[in-house]
Amino acid sequence: MTESRNRKIWSTPWRYAESIAVVVALLVIGYLLQIVVGEFNFFLLAKPANYVIACVITFICIAIGLRCTKSSFARWLSGVEMSVSLIVALLLLTIIMGFTPQTTHSHSLLGFDVMTSSWAFVIIYTITLISLGALVVRRLRVFRIKDYGFYLNHFGLWLFLLCSGVGYADMERYIMHVREGETEWRVYDDDENIKELPIAITLLDFDMDYYPPKLAVIDLENGEVLPNGKGDYFQIDNDIPKGNLNGWEIEINQYIHNAVRNSDSTYQEVHMPGATPAAKVTAIKDGIIRTGWICGGNQAQLFMTLSLDDKTSMVMTVCEPRKFISQVEVYTKSEKNISAAIEVNKPLRVDNWVIYQYGYDNNAGRLSSYSSFELVYDPWIIPVYIGILMMMAGSLSMIWEGKRRKESENDVE
């Protein structure tokens, strides 16, 4: 854009016109490749190829960064106009991605449904990495401590993009299902193939806790929650025992979180795996009073509803889980033996593996006889975290300083 009226395109120094032209050319090459050879296979990058590629990219960045004093091409590649053009290209590609449901194997000619493995994306990503890396080297040659925010943000991003990109192929993720009281070391990959791991897990106990359920009025004919279309729910909450539900005035007389039914169809509190929430409710409408116990039931106990009239009943909804937790023993080939409780957001690290609480038998809930774990091996995670932490520090510097740098016609040299 600058000076574009007085100068011919491709005469140095290159500015926006040339940068945009080159990025468009890269995209065209990417889409031609996509049409001819199909999507890019990330698993070609598996170890050791990714170590070689990471070294080659680093070498190219250093070489171009060091050439910047002499070569106008190197200055252009790591310059502002090229970076804006690359950012806009990534922006356009990810906007397309945001509007297109993504799949694992492409069904479209241009690969919009597998965007991150499409050639255009991979090429733009790689050139961005080189431009960014070269810029870091270029600016390190004229190191100034007051530019610390620049270094943290740019080097952090470069490290993150490089290691998460090439490291993706080395990541391993498996699912392991373990029955209560049993020990398991076989896992399943994404395609349901069985594999044996150097880690075994014994499930000692699986337990869940729930939030209090809701009450609703249903139409007995079709089971739909009333009023039709937008069901009305009453959240059981000891702080708010009274309320309205589909025209009925209701009051919770008693709520038992862990209840077991007595022989006379009342409930009492018992702490055992088969216990389920139950509530004694009084409902009043137009002088009609209904009182009784309501229970959602589970695999061990029948549900109980409160009949309101010929056509409607009051019922309890399925509870939402508050937490689910697995007590386990983990054994490794390196002869470690670890007792731990694994739950969502609290994974367990063992050697190079991280074990996550993954799932359970949704129909059985608390009575689930097994627990599922996800085991993840990610050898590139350390440099990725270093990149993330550098960018976080860089973000703090932006918050602290705001916009500081003055504009310039040419980059710092």
Partner 1 sequence: MMWSNFIWFALPAILLWLSSGALVYSKKNERLSNLLMLAGIAIFAFFIAGFWIHIERPPMRTMGETRLWYSMFLSIVGFVAYRRWKYPWLLSFTAVVATVFVVVNLVKPEIHSKSLMPALQSPWFVPHVTAYILSYAMFGSATIGAIIQLWKKDQNKGVFNFIDNMIYVGYGFLMLGLLMGAIWAKEAWGHYWSWDPKETWAFVTCAAYLGYIHIRLRRNKKSNTVALWFVILAFILLMITWIGVNYLPSAQSSVHVY
Identify residues 124-163 at the interface with partner 1 (CB under 8 A): none
In angstroms, rounded to a whole number, what is the distance separating the alpha carbons of residues 379 and 45? 14
28 counts as binding partner 1 under rule CB under 8 A: no
- Report DSSP state, residue 35: H
> Taking the chain, what is the end-to-end CA distance rounded to the nearest angstrom?
22
Report how far residue 51's alpha carbon sits from residue 49's, in angstroms, rounded to the nearest whole number: 6
Of the candidate residues 17, 53, 97, 169, the single one contacting partner 1 (CB under 8 A): 97
Closer residue to partner 1 in complex, CB, 309/413: 413
Reduced to 3 states, what is the DSSP secondary structure of residue 36? helix
Per CB under 8 A, the list member of 94, 183, 253, 265 interacting with partner 1 is 94
3-state secondary structure of 339: strand
From residue 54, alpha-carbon distances to 140, 238, 281 in Å are: 20, 59, 66
Contact between 290 and partner 1 by CB under 8 A: the answer reads: no
Residue of 13, 46, 83, 386 that binds partner 1 (CB under 8 A): 83
The answer to whether residues 116 and 135 touch, using CB atoms and an 8 Å cutoff, is: no
Pairwise CA distance, residues 126 & 124, whole Å: 5
Between 368 and 407, how does the x/- string for binding to partner 1 read (CB under 8 A)? ------x-x-x--x--xx--x--xx-xxxxxx-xxx-x-x
Nearer to partner 1, 239 or 286 (CB): 239
**SS3 of 46, please?**
coil
Residue 258 backbone phi and psi in degrees, to 5: -115, 90
In the complex, the smallest distance separating the C-beta of residue 125 from partner 1, rounded to whole angstroms, is 12
The answer to whether residue 48 forms part of the interface with partner 1 (CB under 8 A) is: no
223 lies in the binding site for partner 1 (CB under 8 A): no
343 touches partner 1 by CB under 8 A: yes
- Which residue type, as a one-letter code, is found at position 281? V
Burial of 156 (0-12, 13-18, 19+ CB in 10 A): buried
- Cβ nearer to partner 1, comparing 337 with 406: 406
- Please say which residue, 134 or 260, places its beta carbon nearer to partner 1: 134
* Nearest-approach distance from CB 384 to partner 1, in angstroms: 7
User: 3-state DSSP call for residue 5?
Assistant: coil
Angle between helices 119-140 and 80-99 (to 10 degrees): 150
Segment contacting partner 1 by CB under 8 A, of 33-41, 55-63, 304-312, 346-354? 346-354
- Are 283 and 308 in contact by the 8 Å Cβ rule? The answer is yes
Q: How far is the CB of 276 from partner 1 (least distance, A)?
A: 17
Binding site for partner 1 (CB under 8 A): 1-2, 80-81, 83-84, 87-88, 90-91, 94-95, 97-102, 116, 164, 171, 173, 211, 214, 235, 237, 239-240, 320-324, 343-347, 354, 356, 374, 376, 378, 381, 384-385, 388, 391-392, 394-399, 401-403, 405, 407-409
